[in-house]
Structure 1
Amino acid sequence: MTSEITLFVNPTAGRGRGAHAAQPAASALRAAGFSVRTILGENAEDALARAREAVAGGTGALVAVGGDGMAHLALQAVGGTRTPLGLVAVGTGNDFARALGLPVRDPAAAGRVIAEALKGARLRDVDLGRVDGTWFGTVLASGFDSRVNDRGNRMRWPTGRFKYDLAMLAELAAFTPVPYRMTLDDGAVREIEATLVAVGNGSSYGGGMKICADADLDDGLFDITVVGDCSRTTLLKVFPKVYKGTHLDHPKVTVHRAAKVELVAQGITGYADGEPLGPLPLTAECIPGAARVAVP
């Protein structure tokens, strides 16, 4: 492995924590003997082009500094390659890093973990989801949760997590269950009424909401959590349980496992790793061992 690695930085992650985190992470990597070059990019598209260039050029690793959005962007560069991915998780959610047992909001510690993993070849091959060529590491959300995302993204005030709490309350007041057509592994079409359908490669989204609590990053399968046709009252009771994963025991919740899932519904946007994929219908496939990640 080459000793030159690439730092892939989102300066706006975590209200500016990304820019501050890059320096201690880079210092830890340099102290371990690595040569570090940094990619910023003028925008996401430019940054991704530069990251792909670094991967194609044989960089020893791509180290993403930011939150789940930055990890998602980095996956577009390393997915399907053998280039190791390091995560310095300093964003708001950091769900992919949590799933891998990596330090969160401690960039120096994350830098040391990555350095030790690269030097000791302590790398884990993990599955990724893929939708029309786009990779994702955590959860593909659709339904109530994606509508909360839609509304939150349109709101200019307030900022941070509180914005999405308000968006959730607004959506809760207006929400009705959605008719879905769901197909697992090219089997029979299932027609269901659902509040949401979450396709989990990883277990959580939204900063620790364990919507697919039992999902395993290297079993070659998605955990697909279906929250059925809940009333608002039931949803208010079920939703807080998602932080511990105990919602899976509720009679309105079912879990399926499959390597491929097709979702069809009207007026629903799919989000993966918190990033918009586009409107349903969408087909997601679980690709075994699609990314190599530095782990403790």
Structure 2
Amino acid sequence: MRQFTAVVNPTAGAATAAAALLALARRLREEGADLRTEYSRSLDHARELARDAGQRGRVVLAVGGDGIAGGVGGALSGTGTTLGLVPAGRGNDFARALGLPGDPAGLARILLHGEPRQVDTIEVVSAVHDRTVVLGSVYAGVDALANRHANRSRLLKGSASYYAGGLRAVTTWRPARYRVTVDGTEHTHTGYTVVAANSGFYGSGRVIAPDARVDDGLLDVVMIEEAPRRLFFALMNELGTGAHVRRPQVRILRGSEIRIEADRDIPYGTDGEVDAVLPVTARVLPGALRVLC
């Protein structure tokens, strides 16, 4: 029977994370599984807890949203340790890409009896982060600014905070001039954002890269060009289904190493965390992580 260590960040969505873990824990223990819970003080501490548990041969559960999933998953990338996700955050986009069920009984079955799947991760290198590894995507532009607003929102939660953050970001956005290098080939781009996507989802269920796959060894690079604001708002609505990719203002490339630069300090985000500005380089690490899904 598997042995689990759950890593929880009590400062972010504590009540939701605790409730999700409590509902799951009873089912795991009823099956005879061993479950220990560790509360992290920060993402760096969560990474440390995850690595320590992995070295003891335990399956590590990341309990929360995309931030802790990316932090814990990144820490386990390349180690051979198996990761399980307990979606309990605002976005849960990587869990969505893996098709994980939302009900505790269905999730418990996967964690107890599912076979690990090898998925890709993303190595991120910048002046701020010498090297870090994340799961879902790297995005630089108005979406990162919207994410920052959503993270700082005290009144709105879930997708509502993303939507409000998006409105605030778009109304003040000035198109940026980007230089995007994909596997050594340089592309110029003026517009709203550049996204290097491992997962097809970001921003709480928005389908930014419909053809992205977490196990194909490539990143889908989505570039949204300059357009009138009314058209951009229409495009934002189409992110719910992925229909935006049919618009001429959307350009998609694919590659294994992406360098994103801009003509000014543009914020970029990774898995829901926004704390740096361009330039940044994203490299895919094929099959680097074992995930129960």
Task: Report the TM-score when normalising by structure 2.
Answer: 0.91
Moved more, 167-176 or 177-186: 167-176
Q: CA deviation at 1:168?
A: 1.9
Deviation at 1:107, TM superposition (A): 3.0
1:151-170 correspondence to structure 2 within 5 Å:
151-170=149-168
Q: Distance in 1 between matches of 2:267 and 2:64?
A: 24
Structure 2: gaps spanning 5 or more residues = 126-130
Higher strand share: 2
What is the percentage of aligned positions where both structures have the same residue? 36
Cα deviations by residue, 1:219-242 (Å, 9 ceiling, x for unpaired): 100011111111212101211001
CA separation of 1:286/1:270 partners in 2, compared to 1, >3 Å: closer, same or farther?
same
Following TM superposition, by how much is the alpha carbon of 1:35 offset from its aligned partner in structure 2, in angstroms? 1.3
What is the CA deviation profile of residues 113-166 of structure 1, one whole-angstrom value per residue up to 9, with x for unaligned ones?
A: 11011xxxx111001111023222212111111111233334444454433323
Give the whole-Å Cα distance in 2 for the aligned partners of 1:218 and 1:159: 31
SS in 1 for 2:290: strand
In the TM superposition, 1:218-233 aligns within 5 A as 218-233=215-230
CA contact (8 A) 1:125 1:218 kept: yes
Please list every run of 5 or more consecutive structure 1 residues that lacks an aligned counterpart in the other structure: none
Name 2:110's counterpart in structure 1: 113
Counterpart position of 2:52: 53
Amino acid at match of 1:52: R
Give the direction of change, closer, same or farther, for the CA distance of 1:108–1:127 in structure 2 (3 Å limit): same
Q: Is the 8 A contact 1:210 1:243 kept in 2?
A: yes
In structure 2, C-alpha distance between the alignment counterparts of 1:47 and 1:219, rounded to whole Å: 28
Q: 175-184 or 143-152: which moved more?
A: 143-152
Give the AA of the match of 2:119: V
Q: Secondary structure at the match of 2:207?
A: coil
Q: Which residue of 2 aligns with 1:276?
A: 274
Q: Residue 7 of structure 1: CA displacement?
A: 1.4
**CA distance in structure 2 between the aligned counterparts of 1:143 and 1:135, rounded to whole angstroms:** 20
Mapped partners of 2:30, 2:2: distance in 1: 12
Aligned length: 287
**1:1-296 to 2 correspondences below 5 Å:** 3-11=2-10, 14=13, 16-59=15-58, 61-104=59-102, 106-117=103-114, 122-132=115-125, 133-187=131-185, 189-265=186-262, 266-276=264-274, 278-295=276-293
The question of whether the paired residues in 1 share the 8 Å contact of 2:9 and 2:41 is answered with: no
